[in-house]
A and B are shown apart, each in its own frame.
Chain A
């Protein structure tokens, strides 16, 4: 009975930042915490500190549109996200925390022959890798989503779609909290409001970090800082091929459940899902200019609302509840930058653009393996930073540039 009134903390506050850790992870988002969790759980490396300059999950991990999918275009990308999806499917059990994952299906609409060709290519790649993904036409779309406007009177009539049944939505905050709790139970220290202001190196090898709470020695430093990656990696003297843009989203007031698939249209730069609370969650593409100013803009709501109404005219009387913005780190080929850098023992998870949240579990497992074994796992080898110096890019433009 006493427990009912006791505040249960998800993770312990740590008063003291120690002067030395085996591993320091910069960034307390989904990627950083997942890496810490798997380091402790899978590899028994528990002398780990996660340093976050704000509160836990304050960046992209708490601002995304919670969509999980694996229907990518390149074999490297599809295989990577397939593994991530598999881990997400078992994550509630693994973390003993209900993440509210609902695999309701994911439809990427095609409005032209070109769109159908891209969808076909993606379906073929996916099927070869054993990912459930296929092309559907308007008659079947009408069955999957009876509410959508399939008429020929629309600006861009729907001619088909890529259907990905295992795609779904998950409670993004719960993923962050679940990993944080799991990492904390494993012995990892989580330090919010601890900003890294410098990264110490000696003979091309990382030796520690400077923070606003003093200096910390470390054998390994990992940057999981999304939109701030350029600035953090710059502290270690590692240039990155990324640019920082804002991505925006908004939700409407809660309404009766009517939409149980995720609708994506890259033609209209919009993706739509209905949350468990009944809100219609609408996201868009990034703003074209680079910026670190996380302020929402009015043209975004205007364009996204207009495009949403083309697909769902019945939403016309529904009011917008709130909108928000997050920073995205865009890479030139729309694939992530993951693993080792030219500075020894300084690893990076960056270049995620608009699709980093989907990859949190697989980033955690592969980065933890890299730290524990010193070898880059095969799954992330194609995403090495080195590829931009050797010009061996992995173009994910078709499946990741706009859509979610």
Chain B
């Protein structure tokens, strides 16, 4: 087993039940420059430490949630379901504003 990830609905499960969807990123402004947009699309913090990230429980309750995980040890510090997005015309999980520390690139 790699490590356990506590799903907010189902409790601790094998990480292979989940799909990893990357670190929580911050969307650029409404009309970004090409550089801002490219930074958002491609550049990542890739921290060695605690990272806030998206997971999807694909073999379970199929919920999207965020976790705080230490990438040096794979210790999961917290997981939580996030509030639905209210921002106008911003579908998809990436639209949620970053909750943790996430300096802009």
Contacts and interface: CB of A to CB of B under 8 A. Distances in A.
A261 B80 CA distance: 49
B100 to A, nearest CB: 15
A242 B34 contact: no
B87 interface: no
Contacts of A231: 48
B72 A293 contact: yes
A241 interface: yes
B42 A288 contact: no
A240 B71 contact: no
Contact of A299 (B1, B22, B41): B1
Contacts of A243: 22-23, 44, 46
Contacts of A242: 44, 46
B16 interface: yes
B44 A292 contact: no
A388 B44 CA distance: 12
Contacts of B72: 291-293
Nearest to A331: B42
A388 B42 CA distance: 7
Contacts of B47: 230
Interface string B1-33: 110000000000011100110110000000000
A290 B1 contact: no
Contact of B71 (A239, A293, A332, A389): A293
Contact of A389 (B38, B51, B73): B38
A292 B1 contact: no
Interface in B28-62: 34-35, 37-39, 41-48, 51, 53
A297 interface: yes
A176 B46 CA distance: 27
A85 B29 CA distance: 45
A244 interface: yes
A297 B34 contact: no
Contacts of B45: 230
B1 to A, nearest CB: 6
Interface string A331-355: 0100000000000000000000000
B23 A241 contact: no
B43 A290 contact: no
B1 A298 contact: yes
A390 interface: yes
Nearest to B35: A389
A240 B42 CA distance: 8
Given A298-B1, A388-B38, A389-B39, A291 B22 contact: no
Given A292-B48, A391-B38, A299 B16 contact: yes
Interface in B53-81: 53, 71-74
B15 A230 contact: no
B46 A230 contact: yes
A241 B35 CA distance: 13
A253 interface: no
B105 A239 contact: yes
A287 interface: yes
A289 interface: yes
B23 to A, nearest CB: 7
A241 B19 contact: no
Nearest to B37: A391
Contacts of B34: 389-391
A283 B46 CA distance: 24
B46 A244 contact: yes
Contacts of B74: 291, 293, 295
Nearest to B44: A243
Contacts of A295: 74
A290 B35 contact: no
Contact of A239 (B1, B19, B43): B43
A391 B43 CA distance: 12
Nearest to B42: A241
Given A244-B46, A299-B2, A390-B38, 17 more contacts: A230-B46, A239-B39, A240-B46, A242-B46, A243-B22, A243-B46, A244-B48, A289-B53, A291-B74, A292-B48, A293-B72, A298-B1, A332-B42, A388-B43, A389-B38, A390-B34, A391-B37
12 contacts: A230-B45, A242-B46, A243-B44, A289-B53, A290-B53, A291-B72, A291-B74, A292-B72, A299-B2, A299-B14, A332-B41, A391-B41
